[in-house]
Each structure stands twice: as structure tokens, then as C-alpha cells.
Amino acid sequence: MVKWKRIGMDLTFPNVPKYTKDFINDMGQPLNIKIYEPSDDISPQGFLGLGNEFLEHIDNNYNSGFTLHVRRRDKIREPIRVEYIMNDENPTVVDKNIIKVDEDSEVTVIIDYKTISDTKAFHNGITKVYAKENSIVNIIKIQRMNESSFNFDSNVAIVEGRGKVNWISVELGSSISGANYTTFLDGEASEGYLSSIYFGDGNRKMDISYSMIHRGPRSISNIDTKGVLMNEARKVFRGNLDFKKGARRAKGNEEEYVILLDPKVKSDSIPGLFCEEDDVEGNHAASAGQLDKNKLFYLMSRGLSERDAKKLIVEASFRPIIDSIPSDELREEINLEVERRFANV
Amino acid sequence: MSKKLLSIRNLKVNIEDKEILKGLDLNIGHGEIHIIMGPNGGGKSTLAYTLMGHPRYEITDGEIKFEDQLINDLSADKKAKKGIFLSFQYPEEIPGVTVEEFLRTAKSSITGEQQRIIPFRKLLKEKMELLEMKEEYANRYLNLGFSGGEKKKNEILQMSILEPKLAILDETDSGLDVDAIRIVAEGVKRLHNENNSVLVITHYHKLLDYLEPDFVHILLDGKIVKTGGIELAKEIDKKGYENIRQEFANK
Amino acid sequence: MERKKTFIDDIDRGIYDIKNEFTYKYKAEKGLTPDIIIEISKEKNEPQWMTDFRLKSLEIYNSKPMPTWGADLSDLNLDEIITYIRPNADMKTRWEDVPEEIKDTFERLGLPQAERESLAGVGAQYDSEVVYHNIRQELVDQGVIYTDMETALRDYEDVIKEYFMKLVPPTDHKFAALHGAVWSGGSFVYVPEGVNVDIPLQSYFRLNAPGAGQFEHTLIIVEKGAFLHFIEGCSAPKYKVNNLHAGCVELYVKENARLRYSTIENWSKNMYNLNTKRCVVDKNGSIEWVSGSFGSRVSMLYPMSILRGEGAKSEFTGITFASKGQYLDTGTKVVHAAPYTTSTVNSKSISKDGGHAFYRGLLKVAPNAHNCKATISCESLMLDNDSKSDTLPIISLDNDNIDIGHEAKIGRISDEAIFYLMSRGISEEEAKAMIVRGFVEPITKELPLEYAVELNNLINIELEGSIG
């Protein structure tokens, strides 16, 4: 059993049945994607994800997952889409995904976790990215499971010299959701970026943690998070910039802006800045509060209802991140989802 | 003109292994005003920083002599003590250090004499009045929250306090309105005399309307490719650098 | 800029390192037992309730585990720390009457001079006991009380009973419990309603005996509409054995009152400074903490403001300078427990020569504390890459109608800034020292002049020969 004090969670892992749906969206594209096999695995040193219990549970029980190996100089233009769909027959996804990207290559992968029924679904998974020299890896993760589901998602990337990993995370669903993204910037001039939005409504509890671990000289990282909390939602955000010795001239930035829409929300932020090297630049900024009253007033003076004005401002803050998702259809779906959440404001 | 104050021979300078100055020659005599013009990226600021001794600019060949002494390897503070001054294009902001405290330390260091508070404050006040700077700036943190124009004035204030033999003005006129340019130019004129020389780096010639340069140089692709008088600056103003670039390319 | 390794020897801190040969009137045996506690209490002629309080605290102390977060406390052998040492002097109110050796030490620290020049009152504590206390007559006439805790317990027993360890109960943590059991010395200040103490009161603590603990208790009550500035200075000479400071500060700021509490802490570098400070602020009152942490081997110090009255305010300005062999875990906690409360935190840290500075903070907004505002700013400067610097502010919000901002920055002195100053004839070392002094200027300007000078001297001592 796992206990999370800050968001008040006691979890007992469920039994994991077989997952029988197809999750790789084969749009006639990449052939180098195959079902996960243990021989493909990588195990980054010092990676804890959401915690050992979760990682062990995945190792012992995974029922789905894939391995993608992009060969040297292969630039895959079309995004690869993977969908883990949960319903009454398949309420549990424990997935293990490995993405290896060789030198000078490029790939975009969209991984979508969603429920299509009211079933109480459970997801505990891991996605590991190994970005070799001079490669570009874009990972887009969307979580939109229903209000009674549990979601646990650990993500890790190792980035070699001049490699670049861009994470985009969209957290919209579940009753309890834990998400961890850890990026090891090992190589010289390696880059790690994470843009995320989260939306907490109802009684949702979220524990979000991001770490950028700078080991390589001149490595660059940026964390940019926008969030909204309403109703009685609860969230813990942990964002760490960790400059290890040797990360000379590294630069890291982190920003978290959260908009609070109701008196009963709970918002904890624990930003960490750790530093063992003097020649670095690290910045962190956070803000929390209600919507800017002047903006709200301005919009309402133009005839918008309070609800619509609020929605507009929230959408505007989400917009840059949603717009960076390389799929018209998904962008549209996410916009609709945000819209739907505002229905009860 | 008298003996040379500054003489540069075949100067080659790298930034992070990229050659920017590629064999530059320049002589400045006592009491002369020189203008260096040239398009962006030609090496103008590199020359200024190298003359001041910025550690990022690596001299790979050639020599810089100031009053007949080789100064290639001197650090910035030693060069300042010899009488070289650089007015920065983008002056640094130093929180917590007031203009007055900073300048008193600098003046003490350059003259080798501890500047006493009261007389120094008087001197500072006089110089600030000449530059039409508000007295309160003396107690403000160095360049912090200064507008572009205030920063440039503050550079000229420093110059007038430290009284260098060679003042290098790196794009001091950029971003200034007409009044500010006049004030800056007057400040430069006050410093200039038969011993003190001025090197103005600019890529247009607003400041030239106020100063009477002895020489105008064109710096292109790491070298001085043409030298003339004020008429050269006027020609550039009309025709741009393209003619000179072609002329130079054909050589 | 050429990067050079930096080295620094353990600095001779001059007067701070003067040790005094000393004979003690009373010395408790090492380690803690109820018998010792009873003996201490008896020795001090305390009322029974205080003896009981001490014994209860001892029980709590024995039942609490050592903290497992933050500093490594494994080198701290609590049984070895001598708990109660009373110097061979009774409390004096005339400086001339203080024994020569003690007087000497404080003279060298510039204490009576400070009093003559700019203070409303001075208290001096040497090891466990207050040896000197004085206050200006005009303040006494206005009803201001400034005395040592032992005297206060005798003369104002009811007040002490009402306030003593109510803000920091012994159950708070292990060292609060230890404090409750063995507290000794410290100051009691009472400022009556509407009284404005316009010059600061000062308290000076010095720990002289090797392997000893200092557990002074400071209790300050500022009544409605009153104002006080209280300054606390701490030092100790260096011995081979570890010393412990587990003091406790409880501050009560009543309606519309204002208290400024300044600390310059320069304990020697074998000191474990595990001090607990807490302030509760009523309606429209304000607390201003000014805190400089320079000394000690280990510090875990997080002054806390509880804003329980509407419109209450807290301001924290702190500088931490961690050098060789030091782990300084400092920060501040603010609890917004009422509407319209505001707080600002401005923290700076410098680490060098293998020193480790850790900012740890908490900002908590209670569900009912609507319309509150808070800003936190943390800036850290690393002077070399043998050192460490960490920042971990926890922000915990339980309501939406608030305005919270946080900023943290970490880095080294910019090469461009050094070059700029050098281009004006200033040497590299002086340029760096100037930038560091500028970095801490927001703190120095909050201090009374003689402390600002002391702080700048400390920085110069710390930087000397270490950079360039």
C-alpha cells in the first residue's frame, strides 16, 4: 500500500488483467514500432519516478507497452500516435514504453490515455526516452480519464550531447493522478523542455513532479506549467532544477502559474533549486491567485458573462501549450474537454 | 600631431575560436578625435572590448601599444589605470552598489589616492550638473532601473570623473534623443584637449555633428579598409557601405 | 574571466575567538536525568509549576526522535553537552560590577560602548546566565520592562506563566522539548500600550565554556500600538568539542503594534545552532525579522510568523553566508491565518569554500485567510564550485482569493559585471567584493549602523584571500 500525505491518498494496487485492445494507432506509418519486450529495456540510474512501489508494480505486472527504435538520421515527419483506451472490458493499463532515438534523428510520439466508459479505470505506466546525440524527441502525453479513475504515470529521459527532448503534458482527468517527469541532461549542450497544463476540478487530486537534472556542461532546461484549480480540487506541484557538479554554464528555468477559481481548492507548490556548480544560471518563478480582476472586468464590459470571461482567460493561458500539439483533431478534442469542464462554473 | 598615444599593429582577435579582427592597424595621436564606422558584425565592438582587455576576446596576433608600452595582456583594471576608458554600449547593472560609492572607489584606485567623501561628493555634483543629471542618481544603484539614455549619461559621467587619456565610446549615441546626444557630445568635448584623445565607434553619424573628428575609419570584416576625414562619414551616410565593400572586395 | 580555485584557511575571527579561562560556580553533570532537572530548578529557586514544566519537557524530549531531514546531527552528542553552567557572577546592573574576565570579553566585542552610544538597554548573557542587564531610566518610567528571564519569573510570575512556551510548546520538536527542560537565561521585554521605544534594545549572548549548551529564552510582549526594535547578537569562541545552541524566542505583537527583531549570528564554527523563533501578530500589527547567519557549523533556523489578526503583516529579510565546513539550513515560515494579511520574504545566500547554504521556507495560507498577499524572493550566489546552494520553498494554499508570487535565482557573479567594474580601474578582488556587498545591501541597510559595519567586516573577513 502506498500513502501520499500531501494529497491524502491511500492506494492498494489492483490485480492486473490482460489488456486486449490495440493501443498502437497504426496509421500505415512506422514499422519500427513493436510491442514491448524486456530485452529492449533501459534503466536510468537514480530514477525514482513516482516511487519504487509504482515502478516495481509495473515491472511485475505490465500488460501493454511498446518499443520504438528510431535509427540514425531517420527523421520521422508524421507524429506516431499511441492510444491506451480503457473501458469495461479493459479497465486496467499497466504500460511500459521505450523510445530509443539514435544519433541525428527525430521523432514525435503522442500517447493518449482515455476512458470511453464510466468504468473505474486504473493506469500505472512508465515511458522511457533515450535521446542520443543530436536527436530531437517530442513526446506529447494526454491524460483524460474519467472522474472515478486512477492515473499514475512515470516518465524519464536521458539526453545525450546536443540532443533535445520536448515533453508536452496535458493533465485533464482522473480522480487521483500522479505524474512524474524526470529528464537527465547528461550530454554537453543537451536540452530538455517541459510544457504542461493541468486542470483540476471536482474532487480531483493531483501530484505532479518534474525534475531537470543537469549533468552536462551548457545543458539547457525549461519548465513551463499553467494550471487551473476549481471546485474542491487539490494539487501538489514539485518542480526541481538540479545542477550537478560539472554542469558548467548550464541554464535552467522553471515557471508555474496557477489560477484558483474556488475558495475550497488546495494548491501546494514546492519548487526546488539545487546547485553544486557555481557557473550556472537557475531561475524559478511561481504565482498563484485568482484571475486578474481588471481583465475580467474588461471582458465583461464588452458583454461577456463572467463564466465566459473566465473561460476565455483560462483558455488563453492554455493556448500556447495546446497549440503546440501536432494534431488538429487532438487539439480540438482538448479544447472541447476544457470547455466541458467550464460548464459547471 | 605629437607622438602616438595608441598604436595597433596587425591585430587579430578571436572570440571562442572565431576570428573577428583579422589584422587591424590603427594609430591615434595625443589630442586626436577618431571615428570608426562600419556595418554591424564588422568587429567594431570587438575592437573596443579588446582595447579594454575583456577576457573573452583572445588576441592571437599583433600588438597594442599605449604610450609606447605593450598592453596586449593587461587586465581591464590595469588598462584603466593607464588611462583607457570604455563607454559601454550596454552598461552592466550592479544592484546594491551606489553610483557614488562605485565612482569614489574607482577614482581612488586610478589615482592611487583615497578620495575623501566630502570633496568627492562636491566633484560628483558638479560633473552631474554639467550632464544635466539629477543629484539623486548619485545614491541610486549602478545602472539599475536606469533608462537607456540615463545609462549612457552615467557612462559619460564616469568618464568625466576618471579623466582618461583615451576615451573609447562604443555606440554611445545609439538610442539617444537629440538633447541627450548634445549633452553627451559636450561632455566628450570637455574631456578632449591636446593630450586626451577620443575614439568614437558608431554606425551612423549623429554624434559627428557635434564633434570635429580628425580621422574617420571604415571597419569592415575585421580590418580598417579606408581612412579619411569627415567627408568619408558623409559619403557613408549617403551611400551606405556597399560601395566600399565592393571596392574592398575588388582589391 | 579566468576561473581560479579558491582556498581559504579557517579564518581568525579576531575578538570572536578569544577564549576565557573560567571558573564555574555550578556545573551540571553531563547528560540529562530528572534529578539534574530538579537540581537546576532548585538552584534557580523556581516555582513548582516551572519545575514540573521542565520535567514534562524532559519526558517529551526523551520520547521524540531526532529530526531526520535537513542537517546531519549525528556528530551532536547530546549527552555530552553540558546543560547548565552558571558563571561565577551574579546579575549586575552596573557595568563596573561585572567581573573583569566577563567584562573584558564584552568590552572586546564592543558591547558597553554600543550601549553608551546608541542603545536603550543592554543585556548580556555569558554561558547560561545573564550577567548584565541595564535599561534607560526614561523607559522604566514609561513602564517598559527589560530584564533577564530568571528575574522575570520571580517578579512577573503571572505573565510568564501565561506566555511561556505557549507559542513554541515543548511538543513542537525535540529541541523545543530540550529547551523546555533546561532553559536558562535570556531576556524578558514588556512594552506597554502605546509606548514607542525609539532606540533599540540589545541582547548579547556568548557561549564560552567548551562542550556547553546555551538555552536562553527570549519572551517579548509588545502591547497595542507600541513599537520596539530588539537586537540579538550571538558569538562563541571555537573549541574542539561541539557546542549546542537551542534557544527559544517567543514574540507577541498585539493590535497595531510593531516589532522589529534583528539578529546577527556569528557563532563559532563548531556550534550547532538549533534555535526556534516564533511570533504571533494580532490585528494590523507587524513583525519585521532581520536575520544574518554567518557562524555555526550547522544551523537549522526558520523564524515563523503567525498572522492571526486581520491586516497583520510580516516582513523577513535574511542573509546566510555559508563558508568552509558550514551547513546553514535557514529560511522562514509564514502562516496567514486571517484575512487581509500580507507577508514578504527577501532571502539572500552566499556559499563559498565548500559551504552549503540551504533556503527552506514555508508559506501557508489558511482556508479563511482571503485577500492575503505574499511575495517570496530567494537569491543565491555561488562563489566557487566546491560549494552548494539549495532552495526549497513550500507554498501551501487553501483558498483562492489571494495573490502569491515567488521568485528564486541562483548563479555566480557575472563575468560581465566584474569586467565592467574592472574597466573603471577597480581590481578583480575589489570588484567581486563590491558586487557581494551590493548583493547583501538590502540586508545591511536594515541594520543599525554598527551592525551594518560589523556585517560588512564579516563579509570582508570571509572574502579576504578567498577570491581573485
Instruction: Read off the pLDDT of residues C221-230 as tens digits, 9 standing for 90 and up.
Output: 999 999 999 9
pLDDT computed for residue A26 by the predictor: 60
Q: What is the mean pLDDT of residues C407-428?
A: 93
| CA C408/CA A241 separation, integer angstroms | 11
Q: Do chains A and B touch (3 or more CB pairs under 8 A)?
A: no
| CA B32/CA B4 separation, integer angstroms | 10
Q: In whole numbers, what is the pLDDT of chain A averaged over residues?
A: 91
CA atoms within 13 A on the CB side of C353: 17
Q: What is the mean pLDDT of residues C140-166?
A: 93
Q: What is the mean pLDDT of residues A141-156?
A: 96
Q: In whole numbers, what is the pLDDT of chain B averaged over residues?
A: 90
The DSSP line for C163-228 is: HTTTSS-TTS-HHHHHHHHH----EEEEE-TT-B--S-EEEEEE--STTBEE--EEEEEE-TT-EE
Q: Measured between alpha carbons, how far is residue B160 from residues B100, B106, B130, B209, B213 in Å?
A: 14, 12, 10, 21, 19
| CA C398/CA A263 separation, integer angstroms | 8
| CA A333/CA A339 separation, integer angstroms | 10
Residue whose C-alpha is closest to residue C429's, from C411, C413, C440, C444? C413
Q: Band of the pLDDT at C388, cuts 50, 70, 90?
A: very high
Task: List CB contacts of A201: < 8 A, sequence separation 6 or more.
Answer: A229, A230, A231, A233, A341, A344
pLDDT computed for residue C269 by the predictor: 79
| CA B224/CA B9 separation, integer angstroms | 11
| CA B215/CA B36 separation, integer angstroms | 9
Contact between C342 and C313 under an 8 Å Cβ cutoff? The reply is yes
Q: Band of the pLDDT at C17, cuts 50, 70, 90?
A: low
The pLDDT of residue B208 is above 90: no
pLDDT computed for residue C465 by the predictor: 47
Of A230-239, A240-249, B186-195, B198-207, the least confident? B198-207
The whole-angstrom distance between A132's CA and the closest CA on chain C is 28
Element (H, E) at B219: strand B215-220
Torsion angles phi and psi, residue C380, rounded to 5: -125, 140
pLDDT, tens digit (0-9, with 9 covering 90-100), for B82-106: 999 999 999 999 888 899 989 999 9
Task: Tell me the β-bridge partners of A96.
Answer: A126
Task: Give 3-state DSSP helix, strand, coil % of chain A, rounded to 5.
Answer: 15, 45, 35
Among all residues of chain B, which has the CA nearest to that of C420?
B92
| CA C329/CA C299 separation, integer angstroms | 5
The DSSP line for C326-390 is: -EEEE--EEEE-STT-EEEEEEEEEE-TT-EEEEEEEEEE-TT-TTEEEEEEEEEEESSTT-EEE
Of A8-12, A223-227, A269-273, C452-456, the least confident? C452-456
Using CB atoms, pick whichever of A243, A277, A288 lies closest to residue C397. Answer: A288
The whole-angstrom distance between C321's CA and the closest CA on chain B is 17
- C404/A contact by beta carbon, under 8 A: yes
Q: Band of the pLDDT at C232, cuts 50, 70, 90?
A: confident
Q: Which of B 52-71 lie inside 8 A of C, CB atoms?
A: 52-56
Q: What is the mean pLDDT of residues A42-46?
A: 87
Task: Give 3-state DSSP helix, strand, coil % of chain C, rounded to 5.
Answer: 25, 35, 40
Residue whose C-alpha is closest to residue A200's, from A168, A169, A173? A173
- C408/A contact by beta carbon, under 8 A: yes
3-class secondary structure, A334: helix
3-class secondary structure, A152: strand
The pLDDT of residue A337 is above 60: yes
> Which residue in B45, B89, B94 has the most chain C C-beta atoms within 10 A of its own C-beta, making it the best mutation to test that interface?
B94
The pLDDT of residue C53 is above 90: yes
Using CB atoms, pick whichever of C383, C390, C402 lies closest to residue A278. Answer: C383
pLDDT computed for residue A10 by the predictor: 85
Task: Tell me the β-bridge partners of C333.
Answer: C304, C362
pLDDT, tens digit (0-9, with 9 covering 90-100), for B24-74: 999 999 999 999 998 888 899 999 999 999 989 999 999 999 999 999 999
Task: Tell me the β-bridge partners of A67.
Answer: A34, A98
Flag if A286 and C406 touch (Cβ within 8 Å): yes
Residue whose C-alpha is closest to residue C455's, from C253, C336, C320? C320
Using CB atoms, pick whichever of A278, A285, A289 lies closest to residue C403. Answer: A289
Assessment of whether the complete model's pTM goes beyond 0.95: no
- C355/A contact by beta carbon, under 8 A: no
The whole-angstrom distance between A7's CA and the closest CA on chain C is 12
| CA C62/CA B144 separation, integer angstroms | 54
pLDDT, tens digit (0-9, with 9 covering 90-100), for A68-127: 999 999 999 889 999 999 999 999 999 999 999 999 999 999 999 999 999 999 999 999
- B7/C contact by beta carbon, under 8 A: no
Contact between A248 and A275 under an 8 Å Cβ cutoff? The reply is no
pLDDT computed for residue C400 by the predictor: 93
The pLDDT of residue A30 is above 70: no
pLDDT computed for residue B2 by the predictor: 45
Q: What is the mean pLDDT of residues C375-401?
A: 93
> Which residue in C422, C428, C435, C439 has the most chain B C-beta atoms within 10 A of its own C-beta, making it the best mutation to test that interface?
C422
| CA C275/CA C462 separation, integer angstroms | 24
Rg over CA atoms, chain C = 22
Q: What is the mean pLDDT of residues C93-109?
A: 62
User: How many beta-carbon contacts under 8 Å exist across A and C?
Assistant: 122
> Which residue in A278, A283, A296 has the most chain C C-beta atoms within 10 A of its own C-beta, making it the best mutation to test that interface?
A278
| CA C222/CA B189 separation, integer angstroms | 61
Flag if A285 and C383 touch (Cβ within 8 Å): no
Torsion angles phi and psi, residue A66, rounded to 5: -140, 165
Q: Band of the pLDDT at C294, cuts 50, 70, 90?
A: confident
| CA C185/CA C149 separation, integer angstroms | 6
pLDDT computed for residue C468 by the predictor: 34
- A63/C contact by beta carbon, under 8 A: no
The 10 Å Cβ neighbour count of residue C459 is: 21
Write out the three cell numbers for C335.
Answer: 502562516
Flag if A261 and C391 touch (Cβ within 8 Å): no
pLDDT computed for residue B202 by the predictor: 84
Flag if A268 and C385 touch (Cβ within 8 Å): no
The whole-angstrom distance between B80's CA and the closest CA on chain C is 5
Q: Band of the pLDDT at A332, cuts 50, 70, 90?
A: very high
Task: List CB contacts of A183: < 8 A, sequence separation 6 or more.
Answer: A156, A157, A159, A165, A167, A192, A194, A211, A212, A213, A221
- A238/C contact by beta carbon, under 8 A: no
Q: Measured between alpha carbons, how far is residue A86 from residues A19, A90, C149, C320 in Å?
A: 9, 5, 68, 53
Flag if B55 and C419 touch (Cβ within 8 Å): yes
| CA C456/CA C310 separation, integer angstroms | 38
Flag if C382 and A267 touch (Cβ within 8 Å): no
Flag if C411 and A281 touch (Cβ within 8 Å): yes
Structural fold of domain B4-250:
Rossmann fold (3.40.50)
| CA C394/CA C212 separation, integer angstroms | 34
pLDDT computed for residue C11 by the predictor: 42
A neighbour chains, 3+ CB pairs within 8 Å: C
Of A246-260, B63-77, B206-220, C452-466, the least confident? C452-466
Q: In whole numbers, what is the pLDDT of chain C averaged over residues?
A: 83
| CA A120/CA A314 separation, integer angstroms | 29
Q: Measured between alpha carbons, how far is residue A34 from residues A70, A111, A137, A270 in Å?
A: 12, 15, 18, 38
Write out the three cell numbers for C351.
Answer: 556559499
Write out the three cell numbers for B179.
Answer: 538633447
Q: Do chains B and C touch (3 or more CB pairs under 8 A)?
A: yes
- A245/C contact by beta carbon, under 8 A: yes
pLDDT, tens digit (0-9, with 9 covering 90-100), for C112-139: 555 555 555 666 676 666 666 677 788 8
Would the CA dihedral through A20, A22, A23, A24 be positive or negative?
positive
Flag if A280 and C406 touch (Cβ within 8 Å): no
Contact between C182 and C54 under an 8 Å Cβ cutoff? The reply is yes
pLDDT computed for residue A305 by the predictor: 83
| CA A322/CA A220 separation, integer angstroms | 23
- B172/C contact by beta carbon, under 8 A: no
The whole-angstrom distance between B218's CA and the closest CA on chain C is 26
pLDDT computed for residue C14 by the predictor: 47
The DSSP line for A38-77 is: GGG----TT--TT-HHHHHHHHHH--B-EEEEEPTT-B--
Q: Which chain A residues contact residue C400 at CB under 8 A? A: 229, 260-263, 265, 289-290
Using CB atoms, pick whichever of B76, B94, B95 lies closest to residue C422. Answer: B76
